[in-house]
Amino acid sequence: MRLSFLLLATLLLLTFSLQSESENTNEIKQLHDQQCSGCHINITDGDGAVIYTRSTRMANSIEQLESLVKHFADGSDAQWNQAQIKQVTNYLNQTYYGFIEKK
Ligand code: HEC
């Protein structure tokens, strides 16, 4: 009885933490898509994401990627804070670039 309760509680906790993690990723993706994708879609004439997968990329390390994110966030009046810049950098890195993340 006690064991099954513990099991259930653990399962519930796990489900909730997984859920909030994916919600968080969605939020970051939304933030990026709202502020950044429009212009990228315009200049690439369709799939804006190809800006991140060109054979000659501007970002060749996680540091360069982060400073590009900061540059565009500043330039587009997005007014992102440091945490948002980091989150979008990590999101782009995990989705497109695959650099080793610094701690
Ligand atoms: C007004 C248009 C515009 C907006 C808004 C914009 N970008 Fe860009 N972005 C560009 C252009 C143009 C390039 C390609 C520059 C080049 O190749 O010389 C680019 C390239 C990039 C790159 C480099 C890709 C590579 O080659 O590795 C990153 C990273 C990037 N943008 C991030 C962002 C982020 C994050 C935002 C939102 C905060 C954003 N951009 C908003 C126009 C824009």
User: In the chain, how many domains are there?
Assistant: 1
In a domain, 55, yes or no: yes
- Residues of the domain holding 57: 28-97
Residues 86 and 102: beta-carbon distance below 8 Å: no
Residue nearest to atom 11 of ligand 1 (CA): 40
- Rounded to an integer, what distance in angstroms lies between the CA atom of residue 95 and that of residue 88? 10
- Rounded to an integer, what distance in angstroms lies between the CA atom of residue 68 and that of residue 63? 9
pTM of the model: 0.84
In a domain, 68, yes or no: yes
In a domain, 103, yes or no: no
In a domain, 1, yes or no: no
pLDDT of 98 over the 70 cut: yes
**What is the whole-number distance in angstroms between the Cα of residue 2 and the centre of ligand 1?**
55
Residues with CB under 6 A from ligand 1: 35-36, 39-40, 43, 51-52, 54, 57-59, 65, 68-69, 72-73, 76, 78, 88
In a domain, 42, yes or no: yes
Categorize the per-residue pLDDT at 17 as very low, low, confident or very high, splitting at 50, 70 and 90. confident
Which of the 8 DSSP states describes residue 102? P
In a domain, 48, yes or no: yes
Query: What pLDDT digit, counting tens, does each position of 33-63 carry?
Result: 999 999 999 999 999 999 999 999 999 999 9
> What is the reported pLDDT for 77?
82
